[in-house]
Amino acid sequence: MGMKITLEQNTAAAEDCASRIEKRFGGTGITCSVEHHSNALKMAFVRITTPPQHWPALAKWLRFDLGVNHCSMITGTHFPDGGADRGWEVAYHFMRQPIQNQAPHTQCVHIAESLKGDDVPMEFEVLIPLANNNTPSVPSVQNIWVGADWNEKETWDLVGIQFEGHENMHRVLNPHDSPEGFHPLQKQHKIRYHEHNEMYDDAQGFLRKPADEGRVK
């Protein structure tokens, strides 16, 4: 029969992680809360918000004290109207996975319901809001999680967020000869039919009027 991490296990582990983070980093500007997903199973995860200057210390502590061993994804978002403190945001998603190296010809079969303590798989969401300027930048965690390497390359390539200390940064999805400073997921780049109504009312563009209509005799 199939198995799963129960909501009790999951919530208890999330609260344990949150209280440890609070104990270690409370009062430094790092906030931490236990959130629940809003779909059917309502599983819990840990959401951490940190200013960029504390991120390297927090990252090292997460990796080596809390056992967060897997960097899943990094998302950069551009908020041109987000106010002075939140013009950009970097969202990291980490997973804690109970995985160790196995000796030859052995295997480790976890029974989900009997996992305890730090062995319970847990999801971490780290949000780093950045000031509203033209040079967003956060410290790189490439040397803590190898998996963050290409995620950071992608985030820089598409969104234009600098990762200080990232070695061998280069374009990965855009062409290598893209113009410097071109990062397509920034909000000033519009794609065709970006206006919602225009897309529906006039999908093929037949009704669209020339930009200078009314001014030309």
Partner 1 sequence: MAQMWITMGPQHPMTHGLWTLRVKVDGETVVDTEAELGYIHRGVEKISESRDFTQITPYCDRLCYVSAMTWANSYIYAAEDLLEVEVPERAEYIRLIAAECQRLASHLMWLGAFGPDIGSLTLMTWCMRDREMFLDLLQELGGSRMHYNYPRVGGVKRDIPIGFADRLVAKIKLFEKRIDEYEMMLDESTIWLVRLQGVGYAQAEDMVNSGVTGPNVRAAGVNYDVRWAHPYSVYDQVDWEPAVEKPTSVKGADCYDRYRVRMEEMRQSCRMILDAIEKIPGGKNTNYANGDEMIQSKAPTRAPEGASGFSNYECTRGASQFYIQGGGDGRGKNPYRLSIRSPMFITIPYVAKTMIGYKVADIPAIMGSFDPCIGETDR
* C-beta separation of 188 from 80 below 8 A: yes
Query: Do residues 67 and 120 make contact, with C-beta atoms less than 8 angstroms apart?
Result: no
Smallest separation (angstroms) from partner 1 to the CB of 134: 19
Query: Rule CB under 8 A: is residue 100 a binding residue for partner 1?
Result: yes
- Candidate segments 14-22, 49-57, 97-105, 132-140, binder of partner 1 by CB under 8 A: 97-105
Stretch that binds partner 1, among 54-62, 128-136, 181-189, 208-216 (CB under 8 A): 181-189
- Count Cβ atoms within 10 A of the Cβ of residue 168 and give its class: 0-12 exposed, 13-18 middle, 19 or more buried: exposed
How far is the C-alpha of 176 from the C-alpha of 191, rounded, in Å?
Answer: 21
43 lies in the site for partner 1, by CB under 8 A: yes
d(CA 30, CA 21): 9
114 contributes a contact to partner 1 by CB under 8 A: no
Sheet holding 70-78, edge to edge: 31-36, 44-49, 122-130, 88-96, 70-78
Q: Residues 59-88 vs partner 1: string with x where CB under 8 A?
A: ----------xxxxx-x-x-----------
Q: What does the CA dihedral 181, 184, 188, 189 come to, rounded to 10 degrees?
A: 120
- Which is closer to partner 1, CB of 72 or CB of 162? 72
Binding site for partner 1 (CB under 8 A): 1-5, 37-41, 43, 45, 69-73, 75, 77, 91, 93, 95, 97-110, 112, 121, 123, 125, 145-151, 154, 158, 171-175, 184-185, 189, 191, 193-197, 199
